[in-house]
Structure 1
Amino acid sequence: MLGYLRLFLIVLFASGLVFAEEYNCIEHANPESGNIPIPVCRRECIGRVPDCKPNCYDKCPKHSKCVEPEKCKCDEGYVKNGPDTNMTCNPIVCPPNSQMVNDTTCKCFDGYKGDIVEMNAILQSCEPICEPSCPAHSFCASPKKCECDKGYVKNGPDTNMTCNLLVCPSNSQMVNDTTCICPDGYQKVESLQSCEPICEPSCPANSFCASPKKCKCVRGYEIDEMSDDDPTKLNHCKPVCYAECPENSVCVSPDVCKCNPGYSPITNKSGTLASCLEDSFTAFTETHIIIYSFLICSVIFTIVTVIAMIVICVRKENPAEVPDTRSWHTSFASYAEYEMNENINNNSMGKN
């Protein structure tokens, strides 16, 4: 009978070790009457062998258990927060770009590195790794990929990128500090990287779209006609000639005048139109000039001939006044020389 009792105590002691060894709550006691060790619960533990458990006088918080006297431990899947005297157990939530391992630990994905809180060794964040480091005004957005900060725009390939300050062109506005967009009434022009106003239908010739739905004449032109349906809508722009065009001409382009049909231009030395003459006065051909020149010469010759005949007739009526022209034609160069010679001869004869 005593043998069975000893065997029972040994089995009970072994089972107590199995259930209580983790908590270190069983100790061995030897009774005075014998040498067989008897397992008993420690004073700081509660319960009976083999269910001895450590005693935490301040109850452990939710999602935790008492693992040693006055020491609580969070359950798996939870993490300790705060000191032992005022701890809480919060569920483990792995940060982005990580995964949970063994329900107790978070591990970053490949290409990411993590920051760990020293107090409980829990992963707080996983940041991408960029080597070499990103340039100024940028950050590592994913492994080996940099992106510019808000308000800056990427310039160049990924391997040699820079981030320049984003300046939106005229007639545009910035959205989210990263993008420029055209407001309502404007459209983007890729070749110019700008926003231009929209005018529908399109503006007439020699004008441009100055603002949404409003056309304006270009320099050198002025408003000539507005729409009957919409007084604010431009229909036509006419050129401006600051120097007034001559009669029978019109302004065809800025500071350029042109004669009306049926008129021919007369320009000054600078090439500017001076006047416009009707074609009937200016359509002279070379034949016309020859004919008119011949007629004028004929008229002059006729007049000279008539005058000569009149002079001859007058001299025939007064022969005493007409000198002997025979010696004049043979000896003297002119009639005046002949008269002078006659006077000299007459004087010589009077002295003799």
Structure 2
Amino acid sequence: RTMGPGGCPLELLLCVLLWFISSAALNPDDPNVCSHWESYAVTVQESYAHPFDQVYYTRCTDILNWFKCTRHRISYKTAYRRGVRTMYRRRSQCCPGFFESGDLCVPLCTDECAHGRCVSPDTCQCEPGWGGLDCSSACESDFWGPHCTNRCQCRNGAKCNPITGACVCTEGYQGWRCEEHCDARHYGKDCLLECSCENGATCHHQTGECLCAPGYTGVFCEEPCPPGKHGPLCEQRCPCQNGGTCHHVSGLCTCPPGWMGPVCAQPCPFGLFGMNCSEECLCRNGGLCDHISGQCQCNAGYIGERYCPRPPPLHSGQSVHMSQGKSQH
């Protein structure tokens, strides 16, 4: 049997060496490494005192044996035999819930972490945007981040990015939380489309439909309200009378010659006529002028369209027919 240094059997030395190498694989500073003492049996070659019967002769009075007498005594000699020895060693192994990976003990998750990593026994740390015990469930629309623990702050139907929490605005909205409409000249996704509306119109922040200013109509609000209509959506009816026309935006009446008032219902006052009743009547001798045209309506005995002068004297035998209230051109 081959012996090692100090008389220790070589088999025992090899066993201890192999154990040392295997146990040294784990990092003893790893908090997830546990150790305990364990016993094991080792077959060794051991020495012992082997007894044997030693025969020797002594002088005696026995003539028949030529005065030699046989004597016996127990003697011992060193012998070797195989034996089993119980040894103890400190055993390092991964603590419960961990398994060996290289020189480290890493946690073990019974269910594999689909979108995350195992950070402690049967405990997954999910990637942003995923949740559930095994990180296999995508975050609902109102939540984001690791394990979907952060609530969305987005408004107006916007969705959260499940990883970063950034708001993804719906059409027609902008801002960090999608809390603002597009400005009056833009619409659509990310407010990138430019409005084509005219005459001070704004477009709908989502669809781009033109919202006409009062007094305009048409797809692009390019046309004024039709005659007789005015105001928002051209829905208000013109109140003007006597041929007056209203402004398509404000609804204010523009009166024809001879009329005045908010709705053109009043004729020009006595002595005035024409547009805005701004012209002065020149009829004389009690004649009345038309409030629209200014044409004179002369009293009996007077003639003329403008001034109603006295007629010239009549000669004998001449008959005169006076025209009362008759317009001459």
Quickly name the TM-score band, shorter chain normalised: 0.3 to 0.5
Higher normalized contact order (CA 8 Å, seq sep 6+, divided by chain length):
2
Higher helix share: 1
Normalising to structure 2: TM-score of the pair?
Answer: 0.37
